[in-house]
Structure 1
């Protein structure tokens, strides 16, 4: 089972992502801000981090920048309502495996998760 950290202040969006992923062999830890996420990655390791950008208290890029020594080579997928042009500077400061502009589709998300975890997509079929 792969461990995944989901960081998103939009509970509706987070619930959609979690609902889409529940039927797969993934253990999901969900938090709603970067402050909590930064504390969690100091104590636990994850196989994949999915993070929103715009969040109160600490945005996704600040969380990732401040947590790089704990995250290491962990793949990161960014989910955001911002377009790439508005995020280029921040994207260059953190290691991001994939970047997705909301709204996202389940198939696109699962394809990117499979790629980030170096899995064949068939391994993400429901268990």
Structure 2
């Protein structure tokens, strides 16, 4: 999902940057800040979309599991009960992409890209 969304959002960011569309290999000028690069802008939108979709999927999973409970499992042996519950949990956790397509089109951006320097790195990595 990340790769597919990144390709689409990168193309969108390039086409929204004046003059970059006609530049060979879509290479930005050297004076463009790292946080303003098309890839940075695309990544923000991609992560916002994925975050929203996964968040809504988790909420839906919890609601579905709460509604089902152990309904229909009366008289089922321990091993069969465990298998049935596992299948319910697995099905409830499937990504709800189609139901949340609006987050692909118009992501809700909660986190922004920010610059960092060597001072932000842990001591052992510097």
Question: Between Structure 1 and Structure 2, which shows a larger proportion of strand residues?
Answer: 1
Give the structure-2-normalised TM-score. Answer: 0.25
> Higher relative CO (CA 8 A, sep ≥ 6), structure 1 or 2?
2
Question: Between Structure 1 and Structure 2, which shows a larger proportion of helix residues?
Answer: 2
Give the structure-1-normalised TM-score. Answer: 0.25
